[in-house]
Amino acid sequence: MAEQLSVDRLQLIAEIARRYYMDGLSQDEIAKLVGLSRPSISRLLLDARELGIVEIRVNPPIPTVPDLEDQMARQFNLQEVRVLECKNSSDDEVRRQLGRLAVTLLDRTLQDGMTLGLSWGTTVHAVICELRPRRLPNVKVVQLIGGVGAPHATIDGPEQVRRAGEMFGAQHYYLNAPMRVDNADVARALREDRSVREVLELARQSHVALVGIGSIVPGVSTQYHSGYISYDELRRLDRMGTVGAICASFFNLAGEYVEVPWFNPCVIGVDWVDLNQCPTVIAMATGKAKAPAILGAVRSGVVDRLIIDDVAAEAVLALT
């Protein structure tokens, strides 16, 4: 059907759909605005659905566990905790529901004129996938840490920043550098490059940071699976007492920052001090394997708002 319609016709259908579904105008009001009959508007709205210009999606209430939310918030002095009730959901469904929870929280937190900083990874990607158009033209979306590149483009920082910027109709800024390079001198030179330096300065001014909580457990470590850290390095981190990382800054079970001399100087991105100075850090993680990393993160004082699943929450509390 789309091949038989002119570009002008498709644009008209899209405009009518926007006015009806996003602006909330009635079919009669739209008919008067565009000079068509009401039945014509009704047919064009049906065309919009058949062409895929409009997709109807039903989002049932997200099941959460208020008791666990209250207990986690009190015990770790967090501003807000959302705990997803997993039941027998698949990993993909858990991530999607966590993404929905994060979007509801982000909608309440992010205001026009703010700067939103994004890390990368599967959990942040889940949030971006659940975003819906919302006009925030004065928001700035910025990459907090260098990218991973192919073959992980879908979860990479630039892709998350681009998609979020498009959804908000906002300016977006890429950190044109890898997450980690071979030595500290190269990293220093990259950080001093004007384009990288300016984006890092903007990232440090983020009002809201949306980040994943990384683990040193090989099976759930995105840095390991992305090739930015080796299995031997994970073992070294374990011997140093680290349990997890946020934006490539490592911490131990007590929530204390752990300087890793062979890693941190080679990273291009915001650091532990920058994260601590961000007014609102929203952190996400899922699964029992990440419990030590989540516990260290919430003890650190960096995390303000937490989004996890009930399996992870119960495992975290069992460690205390």
pLDDT in tens, 50-99: 888 887 766 667 999 999 999 999 999 999 999 999 987 888 899 999 99
The predicted pLDDT at position 50 comes to 87
Q: Are the C-beta atoms of residues 274 and 51 closer than 8 Å to each other? A: no
CA atoms within 13 A on the CB side of 40: 13
Strands in 305-309's sheet, in edge-to-edge order, are: 80-84, 305-309, 280-284, 208-212, 115-118, 140-143, 171-173
| Residue 18 pLDDT class (50, 70, 90 cuts) | confident
Q: Which CATH class is domain 2-50?
A: mainly alpha
The predicted pLDDT at position 2 comes to 42
Q: Are strands 80-84 and 305-309 parallel, antiparallel or unpaired?
A: parallel
Query: pLDDT digit string (tens) for 136-169?
Result: 999 999 999 998 764 566 788 889 999 999 999 9
Q: For 309-317, what is the mean pLDDT?
A: 97
- Rg (Cα) of the chain, in Å, rounded? 22
Q: For 123-135, what is the mean pLDDT?
A: 92
**pTM, 2 dp:** 0.82
| Residue 3 pLDDT class (50, 70, 90 cuts) | very low
66-319 — its CATH code? 3.40.50.1360
Q: For 269-294, what is the mean pLDDT?
A: 97
Query: pLDDT digit string (tens) for 26-59?
Result: 999 999 999 999 999 999 999 998 888 887 766 6
Instruction: Find the angle CA(92)-CA(242)-CA(76) to the nearest 5 degrees.
Output: 70
Domain spans of the chain, in order of start: 2-50, 66-319
User: Residue 245 pairs with which residues in a beta bridge?
Assistant: 214, 250
